[in-house]
Amino acid sequence: NAGVMQNPRHLVRRRGQEARLRCSPMKGHSHVYWYRQLPEEGLKFMVYLQKENIIDESGMPKERFSAEFPKEGPSILRIQQVVRGDSAAYFCASSPAGGEYGYTFGSGTRLTVV
């Protein structure tokens, strides 16, 4: 029974390139959340998705960032034209329902922009 799977674990991109981060939720979980952890900071909420729907993207930067959770396949967090300030750990979590009782987190993708 695999947990929340994120890949890649580490991603290096040059400034201006695109970064695509993938998250497969736990089996039976249909709610996915993305969080970002900047150095020396706690995790900050970015976006909440259900299959084919974005429920809340209030934590997403207005430009360059997008997220999807298609009917088939993993959830994708896409960052276009990356800048150095995007360097962070990006964590995905999933839950079977609304998530107010807590989630299961993946191991994260550590993005480094050079």
Binding residues for other proteins (CB under 8 A): 4, 6, 31, 33, 35, 40-45, 48, 55-56, 59, 91, 95, 98-108, 110
Reported residue count of the chain is 114
Nearer to other proteins, 15 or 51 (CB): 51
Q: Which is nearer to other proteins, 65 or 103 (CB)?
A: 103
Minimum Å gap between C-beta 62 and other proteins is: 18
Determine the Cα–Cα distance for residues 93 and 102; give it in Å rounded to an integer: 9
To other proteins, the closest distance from the beta carbon of 67 in angstroms equals 15
Asked if residues 110 and 11 have their Cβ atoms less than 8 Å apart, the reply is yes
Backbone angles phi, psi at 24, to 5 degrees: -105, 120
Ramachandran area for residue 28 (φ above 0: left; ψ -120 to 50: alpha; else beta): left
User: Shortest approach of other proteins to residue 89 CB, angstroms?
Assistant: 9
